[in-house]
C-alpha cells in the first residue's frame, strides 16, 4: 500500500484520544480532534449568557479535554507549539471534515453499541480507501465492523495504543475478518517507522495480547496484596524502576489509566473467557468494588490509590489509600533488604537473580508474582 499520512481524525478526546492526537502532532501530522456536543450549559456558560448553539459551548468537551492533556505530566506533546497542528471540533458540526483525512481513529467510550453508532455516522462521510481503526482495549474487532460496507471492512482494524501514547512502545494491530493484508503491512511499518512503536499484530481475542497479560498481572497483584498484607507503597516500590518499569509502577499506573478502564477490561475477560484457567483472578476484589462505588477512579477524579491534598500550611501532600481501612493516610516509605542488595547492580536483567532469591517479603513477592505471570503467559 502506497499511502502517505498527512492528516488524521481522532474521534473522542478523552485522556487516550487527546494523547493519540498529540502524538501524531508530535511527528508533524495534522490532526482533527472531535468529540460530542454538551447537552447542557455549565455555570460559567450560564453566567456569560451563552446558549447551546454557541460554538464555544458546542466545542467545550473537546477543548477542555485537550487543554487538560496539554497540562498533564508527563507531557503528551514534544513542544507546546506542536499543539497548533491539532484542530478541534464536534461530531455534529464537523463530522463531514473526516472526508479530507487519510486515517480515522476511533477512541470513544468502551461500549460496542456506541462505537457502532459512531462508525455508522463516520461511514456517511468517510472517503473510500481511508484507513479507519479503533483504539479499543478489548472489544472484539469483528463485532465493530458488522454491517459496514466492504470498503470499510477492508480498511478497518484495531490499532491499540497504550496510555500514555507518547511514551509506551507497544502498538497492537488487530485485524478484522476482512481487513486487507496490505492495510496490516502498512500500519505495522508506520507504527515502527513514524510513531516510534514496537508494532505487534495480535489475534482478535478478548483483550488481545498486552491487556490480557497486563490485566492478569495487575489482578494477580490485587489479590496478592491482600493475601500478603502489603501496602500500596510497597507494591509500587517493588514493581517500578528496580525491575525496569516506569516510576508509576502498578498503582500509580492504574490511577493514570483510570480504574474504570481497568475494571471494564477485566470484566470483559471474565465474561468472555469462561475457559480461562485463571478465571477467578479476573473477578474484582472487594477494595476495587468499593473504589468504583466511591468513584475513586484515579487522576480523572482527583483520587484513586493516591490522592493529592494540602495540609494546614497549604503544602501539597500525596496521600495513599490504606487498603484495609479504605481511608487515605500519609505515605509511608517502603524499604526491603533485598532491594538494598541490588543498588550496585546497574543492569536491570542482572538484578533478577538477587530479587527472586530474596529472604524477605520482597523475595516472596517476586517469586509468587513472576511464577504466576510466566505460567499464565506460557499456557
- Res 314: pLDDT: 80
Secondary structure letter of residue 205 according to DSSP: S
Residues for the chain: how many in total?
Answer: 379
The Cα–Cα gap between 264 and 233 comes to 25
- Res 246: pLDDT: 86
Contact 290, 326 (CB under 8 A): yes
Please tell me the class of the 210-378 domain: mainly alpha
- Res 139: pLDDT: 87
- Res 51: pLDDT: 95
- Res 313: pLDDT: 80
Secondary structure letter of residue 298 according to DSSP: B
- Res 312: pLDDT: 77
For the whole model, what pTM was predicted?
0.83
Contact 228, 376 (CB under 8 A): no
Q: What is the SS3 assignment for 354?
A: helix
Chain centroid to CA 204:
18
- Res 310: pLDDT: 82
Contact 141, 134 (CB under 8 A): yes
The b/e string for 84-98 (b: 16+ C-beta within 10 A; e otherwise) is: ebbbbbbbeebbeeb
Mean pLDDT of successive 10-residue segments in the chain (379 residues)? 93 96 98 97 94 96 97 93 98 98 96 96 98 92 95 98 92 97 97 97 93 92 92 96 92 91 88 90 92 95 93 86 95 94 96 97 96 94
All structural domains of the chain with their residue ranges: 7-201, 210-378
- Res 361: pLDDT: 96
Instruction: Match domain 7-201 to its CATH number in 3.40.50.720, 3.40.190.10, 3.40.50.11440, 2.60.120.10.
Output: 3.40.50.720
- Res 272: pLDDT: 87
Amino acid at each position: 500500500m502506497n499511502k502517505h499520512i498527512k492528516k488524521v481524525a481522532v474521534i473522542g478526546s478523552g485522556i487516550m484520544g487527546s494523547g493519540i492526537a498529540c502524538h501524531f502532532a508530535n511527528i508533524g501530522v495534522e490532526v482533527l480532534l472531535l468529540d460530542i456536543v454538551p447537552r447542557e450549559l455549565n455555570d460559567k456558560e450560564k453566567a456569560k449568557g451563552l446558549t447551546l448553539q454557541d460554538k464555544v459551548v458546542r466545542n467545550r468537551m473537546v477543548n477542555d479535554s485537550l487543554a487538560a492533556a496539554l497540562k498533564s505530566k508527563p507531557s503528551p506533546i514534544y513542544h507546546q507549539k506542536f499543539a497548533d497542528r491539532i484542530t478541534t471540533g464536534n461530531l455534529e458540526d464537523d463530522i463531514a471534515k473526516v472526508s479530507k483525512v487519510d486515517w480515522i481513529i476511533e477512541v470513544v467510550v468502551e461500549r460496542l453499541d456506541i462505537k457502532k453508532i459512531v462508525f455508522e455516522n463516520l461511514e456517511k462521510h468517510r472517503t473510500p480507501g481511508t484507513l479507519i481503526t479503533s483504539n479499543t482495549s478489548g472489544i472484539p474487532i469483528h463485532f465493530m465492523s458488522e454491517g459496514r460496507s466492504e470498503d470499510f471492512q477492508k480498511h478497518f482494524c484495531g490499532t491499540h495504543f497504550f496510555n500514555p501514547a507518547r511514551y509506551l512502545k507497544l502498538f497492537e494491530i488487530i485485524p478484522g475478518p476482512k481487513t486487507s493484508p496490505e492495510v496490516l503491512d502498512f500500519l505495522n511499518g508506520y507504527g515502527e517507522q513514524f510513531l516510534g512503536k514496537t508494532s505487534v499484530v495480535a489475534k482478535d481475542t478478548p483483550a488481545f495480547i498486552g491487556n490480557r497479560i497486563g490485566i492478569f498481572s495487575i489482578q494477580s497483584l490485587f489479590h496478592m496484596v491482600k493475601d500478603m498484607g502489603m501496602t500500596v507503597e510497597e507494591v509500587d516500590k517493588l514493581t517500578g524502576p528496580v525491575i525496569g518499569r516506569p516510576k508509576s509502577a502498578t498503582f500509580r499506573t492504574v490511577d493514570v489509566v483510570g480504574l474504570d478502564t481497568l475494571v471494564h477490561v477485566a470484566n470483559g475477560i471474565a465474561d468472555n473467557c469462561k475457559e480461562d484457567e485463571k478465571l477467578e483472578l479476573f473477578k474484582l476484589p472487594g477494595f476495587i468494588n468499593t473504589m468504583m462505588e466511591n468513584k475513586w477512579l484515579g487522576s480523572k477524579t482527583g483520587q484513586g490509590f493516591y490522592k493529592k491534598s494540602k495540609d494546614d500550611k497549604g503544602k501539597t501532600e500525596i496521600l495513599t489509600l490504606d487498603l484495609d481501612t479504605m481511608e487515605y493516610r500519609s505515605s509511608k516509605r517502603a524499604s526491603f533488604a533485598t532491594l538494598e542488595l541490588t543498588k550496585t547492580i546497574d543492569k536491570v536483567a542482572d538484578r533478577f537473580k538477587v530479587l527472586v532469591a530474596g529472604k524477605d517479603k520482597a523475595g516472596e513477592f517476586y517469586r509468587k508474582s513472576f511464577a504466576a505471570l510466566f505460567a499464565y503467559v506460557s499456557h
